Structure 1
């Protein structure tokens, strides 16, 4: 083995991030394989590599026995004593068997096996790097697409963006830079396989963590996310610090923080509402931007009946029921919306409250970003 090869191992270690010990082990395995295959040997052999001089030697390993049945694997005690009198039955004797013409054949075979081991080691490194990034967000570059996937380069590997995880309002062109959410990292025989999403609610959560310092440092907490990707989303936030406005922190000065997220999601509308432990308050907030008159809670069925002004009914329900559906997902409560007129006819509104309270509507902080 030449010193040039040893220098190459050092370069591979630096550029590929693969330990030189891994590469040395791969080369030794390649040399053993080459020896057995090219010289029709079934011996148990070991390759010794001198990393300083770049030389190599092959040793046959034989067990010391009283009676030899296979001379390729065994050596008699008498013969072993001619090598070293200290050998005893059961010991292993090593005899050098390096062929003169072994270097050229070994180099060819070793190159193939080393290439394979290097590829496997690289795959292992990539898997280890990305398996820890599940449920995280990364910026990728669109490479190509077929009927099933869009292939997104994440640097060392191409991730798969399935058709079901693509936003309906987006078109993807080669060289486009997009942020993706890593949903799954699998180890396969062909190397690690990474699946990403543009529709996952986790993408919206991570984008807010990036854009809003108060969320990143834990001052403001994202409590829940409900998303219909490409169209509309709702996110609830809370804080235990009285001097911090959780909704205002997410919106940012002149809406700059949330607008950056809207731009990344190609115009997806985002409602930011304040979370509350009280389901009456939380459900009313979640139905933003509609005005709510009353919320009647059924704790046993975890259901609510929400009363809204007649002129706000369609707004509260939303197009194709979207606003009510997202509010239910966000809060985890079933929501039945009734107009004020229908609620009065049903006798559920106004409830038996003080007159001054029954005429008041909920005044909750919420924001809708178009």
Structure 2
């Protein structure tokens, strides 16, 4: 075999991390196949490949029998003992059958096999690299766009950004740089297939980890995220360190940290609220920027009635119910919003202390009424 080919094989094995045994086994199997295909031999053969010298030898393997039925696979005891008197019935005799010009065919076959093995090894390496980055964030470059996908280069691999994972307020053009969240990595016959998202709540979480050192080091914890991608998001944060303001840490000096995230998400509004184990406090915080007068909690039904000033009702509900809907997702509690006037009509004191299990009969009678304002029951806890 060509010494240059042998050197190239050795370099490839080192560079791609393929073991010598794997390459040898694959080349030997391919050379056996090439021998049978090119020389019309159906016999049982073995290839001896010496990677140090580059020599290739082909041996036909024949069983020693009393009476030969197929001379391609069998040899008589008499003929076998002419080669070596020690052969007995049932032994296997190996006869060298290397064709004169077989080196060229073997070298070409070896090249094809190694090329295929290198391709497979590269695919496995890329898959192993990206499967470990599921639920992580990466920066990519848009390569091309079609109605189904935006194709994003992540360096060694190309990722797919499906239409339903694209931000409704964004237009993607080739050479655009953007951060994406890896949702799934699949192994296919054509290599790893990587799916990414711009709408996943996890993208928001990873962006805060990048921008806020206190989140990255664990001083501040993200408890939950509610997101309507491209429009508005809410995020609840908490710190066990009483000297750390979790909301202030996320906002940053003059709002620089959160503004960097808003810019990355193309102007998506982000409300950062303080998490609390007390549902009264947490629900009131989640409805920010609306001012809350009172929160009445029904633990059994995991529901709350929230009373707000009359002039704050539309702000608390939000455009198309968005603020209340996101607050319900963020907290995991049903939220029924009442204006101060509605509460008085129902016999509820809007300015009494917030309580648990304090639904009045009037409130209970009207709890499921469509006239009571929006009630939402959606939760999006981020692990």
State whether TM-score is above 0.5.
yes
1:47-81 CA distance string (max 9 Å, x none): 22222222222233344556544443344555555
What pairs with 1:141-290 in structure 2 (closer than 5 Å)?
141-290=141-290
**What is the rounded CA distance, in whole Å, between the counterparts of 2:292 and 2:68 in structure 1?**
94
Structure 1 consecutive aligned stretches of length 4 or more whose deviation exceeds 6 Å: none
Rounded Cα–Cα distance in structure 1 between residues aligned with 2:89 and 2:218 = 69
Q: How far apart are the structure 1 equivalents of 2:327 and 2:39?
A: 74
In the alignment, the residues of structure 2 paired with residue 138 and residue 346 of structure 1 have an alpha-carbon distance, to the nearest angstrom, of 53
Q: Does 1:292 align with 2:292?
A: yes
Structure 1 residues 339 and 106 mapped into 2: Cα distance closer, same or farther (>3 Å)? Answer: same
Matches within 5 A, 1:1-370: 1-64=1-64, 68-76=68-76, 79-83=79-83, 91-350=91-350, 353=353
CA gap 1:238/1:124 in 2 versus in 1, 3 angstroms: same
Give, in angstroms, the shift of residue 133 of structure 1: 1.3
Cα pair 2:307 2:350 within 8 Å, conserved: no
Deviations 1:243-267 (A, max 9, x none): 1111111111221211111111111
Contact 1:230 1:267 (C-alpha < 8 Å) held by counterparts: yes
CA offset digits 1:152-179 (Å, max 9, x no partner): 0111111110011110111111111111
Instruction: Kindly indicate whether the alpha-carbon contact (under 8 Å) linking 1:34 and 1:110 is maintained by their aligned counterparts in 2.
Output: no
What is the alpha-carbon distance in structure 2 between the residues aligned to residue 347 and residue 88 of structure 1?
107
The secondary structure found in structure 2 opposite 1:196 is strand
**What secondary structure sits across from 1:133 in the alignment?**
coil
Cα-to-partner distance string for 1:262-284 (whole Å, 9 max, x where unaligned): 11111111111111111111111
CA–CA distance in structure 2, aligned partners of residues 37 and 15 of structure 1: 32
Name the CA shift for 1:18/1:159 in 2 (closer, same or farther; >3 Å). farther
SS at match of 2:219: coil
TM-score normalized by the length of structure 1:
0.88
Moved more, 172-181 or 57-66: 57-66
CA pair 102-250 structure 1, distance change in 2 beyond 3 A: same
Structure 1 runs not aligned, ≥5 long: 355-370
Q: Distance in 1 between matches of 2:90 and 2:344?
A: 97
Equivalent-residue separation in structure 2 for 1:15 and 1:311 (angstroms) = 69
TM-score, with structure 2 as normaliser: 0.85
- 1:101-154 CA-partner distances (Å, limit 9, x unpaired): 112223333333332232222212211211111111111110001110010011
For the structure 1 residues 222 and 353, does the alpha-carbon distance in structure 2 shift closer, same or farther, using more than 3 Å as the test?
closer
Give the stretch that moved more between structures: 286-295 or 121-130: 121-130
Q: SS in structure 2 opposite 1:297?
A: strand
Verify the 8 A CA contact 2:18 2:121 in the aligned structure 1.
yes
Between 111-120 and 240-249, the greater mean CA deviation after superposition: 111-120
Q: Return 80-89 or 217-226, whichever deviates more.
A: 80-89
Query: Which digits, 9 at most, give the CA deviation of each residue in 1:331-351, with x for residues without a partner?
Result: 111111111111111122337
- Separation in 2, partners of 1:68, 1:92: 14
Deviates more, 1:109-118 or 1:320-329: 109-118
Deviates more, 1:24-33 or 1:181-190: 24-33
In structure 2, distance between residues paired with 1:221 and 1:37? 65
Q: Which runs of 5+ in 2 are unaligned?
A: 355-383
Describe the shift of the 1:316–1:101 C-alpha distance in structure 2 as closer, same or farther (beyond 3 A). same
How many residue pairs are counted as aligned between the two chains?
A: 354
Q: C-alpha distance in 1, partners of 2:347/2:64?
A: 99
Partner of 2:365: none
